[in-house]
Amino acid sequence: MKNIIKIFTIKPLLVIIFLFSLASQAQVVVIDPGHGYASDGSNPDGRTDTEHATALSVGIKLKDLIENGCDGWSVRLTRSTRNGWLTLSQRRAISNNWRADRFISIHCNAGGGTGTETFWCNRSNSPQSSNSRFSRQIQDRMVEKGQWRDRRSVEDGSYIFHLGVLTGNNAVGVLSEIGFVDSGDATKLLNNTWRDRFADAYLTALQNDLGRNCTTPPSGDTVAPTTTISATGGNTQSADFTANFNDNDNVGVTRRFYQALEKYGNNWYANRGNGFFNDNFNVFYSGYTQGAGNWSINNGHLLQANTSSDNTKLNTFLSQNSGLPYLYEFSAKTISTSGPQKFGIHIMSDDVTQSQRGNSYLIWFSGEDNKVRIYETVNNQLNLRAIEDVTLDNNWANYKITYSPAFGVLEIFRNNNSLLRWTDTSPIKNGSSISLRTNKTSVEFDDLKVYKFRANQSQTITAGSAVTKDIRRQNGKIKSLVRDAAGNWSTPGNLDVIISSLSRQNPNLVDDTKLKNDTPIIYPNPTTGKYLTLTYNGISNQSTEISIWDITGKLINKMNDKPSDNNQRNIDISTLLKNVTSGNYIIKVKSGKNVFYSRILKQ
């Protein structure tokens, strides 16, 4: 009897603990498809049928996404029918009674404008910082996935009045105005495929804000976009020219990237100072700095053969300071069939001389446990930020990483399938290098490329002898890759161009990594101070002092650079201009006995 009593006294406690554990992990989301018609068919708020129908359709789609893919989440609609109008206080009460963690009120705008905007309320019962952060997430994802103009993410009282559905709401909540019913926006609002994308944008924002991943059902769009390139004036150019991109998709292209390449002998490289990179591994590229590992070219691939080092390193300079998204792409194949089977790449690194590359993101694939991980290195310390399952094998695969410094969105693809997305709320804005890395694993790499974002169907390509130009050789090439909202990627578009004003080789370039003369170059000039790059020929272990002086001869700031090898250096010196007012200044570069002066204008 004592044993029986013991069993019955323990079980309720276990049940309580179990239920508490479930409750602590659950997420409650209330979706408010705003307005709607009343039960008698009247229109109390006087809104258009486009708004009523769009808000309800997107709300139902979002509810279905959550219920089909988000285990442990609870979701409720404030209305689920056309004639389901409720007052503001009734909708707010539903949210509070349900003890919602997140509240999304869905609306459409009017007034003849265009674009999307998101509001949060400083009179809700949840922290202002949480509401503001959630609003920014909703806005950024809607801009990205919905391809909307970014109007604003703003506190509601700064607009006209405090929104009644948010005032007094206990949840972290927003009111989202998807687009305008009385402009060209309406075409997208009434399109079912676009409504799918809006719902997906909300779901992604919820996942990012709550830090919980769900399995999103496939959108059904498997048609890859296409991209082709032409040049205004033809394939022979004498100076800067316009590249025209013809991007097409059955629904719409959401991301556009391009490369500008230049030919050296039989190899295509790119101007790393302008944010492009390309290496097909026909020969061992002189622009790399080797750390640990055994790196060599093997049958047209890059082979890392060392299986004892847990942190091999192959670095190259790459300016990543445009503020716009980048696309990093490479192919890889693990040779090792046992052990860690780990490899990856650091992007946006600011100091590859350090073990964890200073500040950077590490995209890390592990065949040992079939995972992909995103690490952020902060002050040279690794921090795990996101992880996802992925089936890895010893076959060649294509890897793509997209990163937006403005919004902090980082997404990883394998063979064009999205594996993992994570948003850094304090994103790294600038980087000076990328770095390949393995852990006790023999790996082959191929076709390492970096593309830059383009917003439009045309892009100015700079061409000429200056080191700042995109194409500095007679033979050039433009490439393009685009993606749609469903994650389908195009095959590369390609355009070969001839720069007739250039000889076979720019006389100031030995190859794309070395200047023939010793004259440093500082650009852009004039500068706003946000970006300022120094290009010069570095000498191994010889310190170079860079300083800025006003026109009276007063020293303002200085910094030092110490190259680890003899190579062209491209370094960010914009810190010299920190807290410097507009005007004319002198930049002094002193390396050994060589001293160089350049006058710059800070705008």
pLDDT per residue as tens digits for the range 572-602: 898 898 888 888 888 888 888 788 878 888 8
- The set of residues, in sequence order, having a beta carbon less than 8 Å from that of 81 and lying 6+ positions away, is 36, 56
User: With contact defined as beta carbons under 8 Å apart, do 216 and 203 qualify?
Assistant: yes
pLDDT of residue 529: 79
User: Is there a single domain that holds both residue 424 and residue 523?
Assistant: no
Tell me the mean pLDDT in the region 258-266.
Answer: 93
pLDDT of residue 227: 97
User: Is there a single domain that holds both residue 235 and residue 361?
Assistant: yes
- Mean residue pLDDT across the chain: 87
User: With contact defined as beta carbons under 8 Å apart, do 80 and 60 qualify?
Assistant: yes
User: Is there a single domain that holds both residue 493 and residue 525?
Assistant: no
pLDDT per residue as tens digits for the range 326-349: 999 999 999 999 999 999 999 999
User: With contact defined as beta carbons under 8 Å apart, do 563 and 518 qualify?
Assistant: no
The burial class, CB within 10 Å (0-12 / 13-18 / 19+), for 292 is middle
417: amino acid identity, one letter: N
Is the peptide bond between 33 and the residue preceding it cis, with omega within 30 degrees of 0? no
User: Is there a single domain that holds both residue 490 and residue 559?
Assistant: no
pLDDT of 523 higher than 80: no
Q: In degrees to the nearest 10, what's the CA dihedral of 555, 559, 564, 565?
A: -40
* Residue 515 half-sphere exposure toward CB, CA atoms < 13 A: 19
Judged by average pLDDT, the poorest of 91-105, 132-146, 157-171 is 157-171
User: Is there a single domain that holds both residue 203 and residue 274?
Assistant: no
User: Is there a single domain that holds both residue 59 and residue 126?
Assistant: yes
User: With contact defined as beta carbons under 8 Å apart, do 306 and 261 qualify?
Assistant: no
463: amino acid identity, one letter: A
Domain assignment present for residue 512? The answer is no
Domain assignment present for residue 159? The answer is yes
Nearest to 466 by CA among 430, 499, 433: 499
Domain assignment present for residue 508? The answer is no
Among 452, 472, 499, where does a domain finish?
499
pLDDT of 39 higher than 50: yes
pLDDT per residue as tens digits for the range 565-574: 777 788 889 8
Rounded-to-integer distance, Cα 51 and Cα 38, Å:
14
0.85 surpassed by pTM: no
User: Is there a single domain that holds both residue 126 and residue 247?
Assistant: no
Domain assignment present for residue 97? The answer is yes
pLDDT of 11 higher than 70: no
User: Is there a single domain that holds both residue 294 and residue 440?
Assistant: yes
User: Is there a single domain that holds both residue 596 and residue 562?
Assistant: yes
Domain assignment present for residue 221? The answer is no
> Distance of alpha carbon 175 from its chain centroid, rounded?
25
Rounded-to-integer distance, Cα 400 and Cα 318, Å:
17
Number of structural domains in the chain: 3
- Domain hosting 537: range is 518-602
35 against 400, higher pLDDT:
400
Enter the DSSP assignment of 416. T
Domain assignment present for residue 579? The answer is yes
User: With contact defined as beta carbons under 8 Å apart, do 303 and 442 qualify?
Assistant: yes
User: Is there a single domain that holds both residue 392 and residue 480?
Assistant: yes
- pLDDT band, very low/low/confident/very high, at 158 (cuts 50, 70, 90): low
Rounded-to-integer distance, Cα 561 and Cα 570, Å:
11
Domain assignment present for residue 220? The answer is no
- The set of residues, in sequence order, having a beta carbon less than 8 Å from that of 326 and lying 6+ positions away, is 257, 275, 320, 347, 402, 403, 405, 450, 451, 452, 453
Domain assignment present for residue 206? The answer is yes
User: Is there a single domain that holds both residue 167 and residue 231?
Assistant: no
Return the HEC string of 88-104. HHHHHHHHHHCCCCEEE
For residue 417, give Cα distances in angstroms to 253, 400, 412, 561: 16, 9, 8, 41
Rounded-to-integer distance, Cα 41 and Cα 79, Å:
14
Among 146, 179, 210, where does a domain finish?
210
pLDDT of residue 593: 79
pLDDT of 40 higher than 70: yes
Report the percentage of the chain scoring pLDDT > 90: 60
The burial class, CB within 10 Å (0-12 / 13-18 / 19+), for 175 is buried
pLDDT of residue 291: 92
User: With contact defined as beta carbons under 8 Å apart, do 565 and 594 qualify?
Assistant: no
- The domain that holds 45 is classified in CATH as 3.40.630.40
- The domain that holds 369 is classified in CATH as 2.60.120.560
- Across 265-370, the runs of DSSP E, i.e. the strands, are 267-269, 277-279, 288-290, 295-298, 301-304, 314-320, 326-334, 342-349, 360-366
Rounded-to-integer distance, Cα 289 and Cα 467, Å:
21
For residue 4, give Cα distances in angstroms to 7, 10, 11, 18: 5, 10, 11, 21
- The domain that holds 577 is classified in CATH as 2.60.40.3080
31 against 6, higher pLDDT:
31
Tell me the mean pLDDT in the region 172-188.
Answer: 94
User: Is there a single domain that holds both residue 132 and residue 205?
Assistant: yes
